[in-house]
Amino acid sequence: MFIGIDDTDSERGLCTTYLAAVLMERLAPWGEICGLPRLIRLNPCVRYKTRGNAALAFSLDSEQPDMVKRVALQTLLELSDLSGANTNPGLVIAEEVTERMKAFYCSAVREILSIDAARSLLDEEGIWYRGFKKGRGLIGALAAVGAELPDWTYELIAYRQPGRWGTPRFIDHSTVWEADRLTYPLTWDTVDHHNRRVVFAPHSADPVLFGIRGSDPTAIRRAFEAIRSEPVDRYVLYQTNQGTDAHILPGEIGRVSESQSYRLHGFVAGPARAIPGGHLFFTLEKGGGELSEEGLDGEGPDGKGRNEEKRNEGGVKRGGRIECAAFEPTKNFRDIIKKLRRGDELEVYGSVRDGTMNLEKINILHLAPDRVKAAPLCPQCHRRMKSAGKGQGYRCRLCKSRSSSPAIEDRPRDLERGYYEVPPCARRHLSLPLIRLNRTDICLHPSR
């Protein structure tokens, strides 16, 4: 039996993973859990989500399907916050996983689906299900059952004793840093070194104490054993599509849809612009082009400062374009975005919200030369000439030689090619952390 559950919690409390953990325990007398339960993240752009758009599934070998359905239903009703305005639980119990269910998962992680689409498929495939209130959770429950994971990671979630829910969590942070030291890179996103934060524990009233993510269950358990905290009520190791980029579609600028996530190739149209609140935006264009001289940055013959505006406008062939955003919570990732210059060739990864690409990571394929106009060197005495006044070229103060045109010089780029990502404190559950790539043929800049 393949059991899927979703949309049981609210901002006020509870958690679908906790419900699944309790249900697995309650079903122990009626069957045997096969393999690891699965924590499936779905389209991160879904607006109904409570937190991270998670759904749960596990498989059970049982001779008593009616009893299993009854226990599952009772547990769902008991541990769902049905009073939550946005809580619409769904429970799906299938006897097999068909190709259409697998396809439904692929759509649910990348597109926005309707409740009707889930109900129709459930009816057509003859699957047992129960939806409560609007039954929106049927989308996630069906997708979780159908999820095929060509790539996966693990997360161990530790739960709090019920009496402590809603109170501040006690976790000895020094032991979390130690756990990271012992097990990184086989575990990740427990702490954020750059931002000096422990990031593996929520602050909400739900039953989760913390979650340890990683690629190796042995290393995850080692980290778990190293961490000192308030008593753990129970813990579960999940297999998950987290950290796999399952939501990312190969895309093309000018052909993207709202609420979907892509990898796009393009050229930076100009330096990033900051808006109040610390958010950064830059434009990515489909076509790249050579810098024309008018478009260059630098000191003009009038000796007045740089002309960033002009430089932004010059030279790039217009194709499709898209705004890319690095919002304030992406912290030090913005330092990289600030260094991008017009003509840099990139791949960007992220989700399209309100027509803007919200960045999760970038791959700098080629750094454009950072060409600037500067006063030329005197051919006689090799010293830098000075502006002779507006529109009058340049003059050497020493030997009085003149030049009508500026020199074009390359400024050094304080940036390397390769992949850059948002720090752990801003990571999306589905985003593949660069540390997982484990490749030597490409330049990686993992954020830790």
Q: Which residues bind ligand ATP (CB under 6 A)?
A: 6-9, 15-16, 42-43, 46, 48-55, 88, 108, 111-113, 136-137, 139-140
Q: Residue 56 or residue 280: which is nearer to ligand ATP going by CB?
A: 56
Query: Phi, psi (5° rounding) for residue 144?
Result: -65, -40
Residue 227 contacts residue 25 (beta carbons within 8 Å): no
In the complex, least distance from residue 78 CB atom to ligand ATP, rounded to whole angstroms: 15
Residue nearer to ligand ATP on the CB measure, 112 or 182: 112
Would you tell me how many other CB atoms lie within 10 Å of the CB of residue 215? 18
The DSSP line for 297-315 is EE--TT-----HHHHHHSS
Closer of 240 and 312 to ligand ATP (Cβ): 240
Distance between first and last Cα of the chain: 40
* Residue 263 CB, nearest approach to ligand ATP (Å): 19
Phi and psi (nearest 5°) for 323? -80, 135
Residue nearest to ligand ATP (CB): 140
Q: Rank residues 46 and 71 by Cβ distance to ligand ATP and give the closer one.
A: 46
Min dist CB 357 to ligand ATP, Å, is 19
State in angstroms the smallest separation of the CB of 230 from ligand ATP.
22
Q: If we measure between CA atoms, which residue out of 352, 295, 345, 349 comes closest to residue 322? A: 352
- 9 vs 360, beta carbon nearer ligand ATP: 9
Question: Can you tell me whether residue 162 is helix, strand or coil?
Answer: helix
CA separation, residue 343 to residues 249, 310, 316 (Å): 24, 14, 7
* Assigned token pair, 274: 């900051």
- Give the nearer residue to ligand ATP in terms of CB position, either 67 or 249: 249
Q: Minimum CB separation from ligand ATP for residue 92, in Å?
A: 10
Residue closer to ligand ATP by CB (options 53, 312) is: 53
Q: How far is the CB of 43 from ligand ATP (least distance, A)?
A: 4
Min separation Cβ 241 and ligand ATP, Å: 12
Residues facing 131 on adjacent strands: 90
Of 2, 23, 42, nearest to 260 (Cα)?
42
CB of 99 to ligand ATP, least distance (A): 19
For ligand ATP, the closer of residues 117 and 274 by Cβ is 117
Structural contact between residues 10 and 317, judged by C-beta atoms closer than 8 angstroms: no
Alpha helical stretches, state H, 111-160: 115-124, 137-146
Helix (H, G, I), strand (E, B) or coil at 48: coil
Q: Which is nearer to ligand ATP, 17 or 153 (CB)?
A: 17
Q: Any idea which residue has 């502006």 for tokens?
A: 387
Secondary structure class of 144 (helix, strand, coil): helix
Strand order in the sheet with 297-298: 297-298, 370-374, 407-411
8 contacts: CB under 8 Å, gap ≥ 6: 14, 15, 16, 19, 76, 79, 80, 81, 87, 89, 137
Q: Do 161 and 233 contact (CB within 8 A), yes or no? A: yes
Backbone angles phi, psi at 317, to 5 degrees: -65, 135
Structure tokens at 114: 């309707």
Q: How far is the CB of 40 from ligand ATP (least distance, A)?
A: 9
Residue 336 Cβ vs ligand ATP, minimum distance, rounded to whole Å:
29
Measured from the CB atom, the residue of 184 and 262 that comes closer to ligand ATP is 262
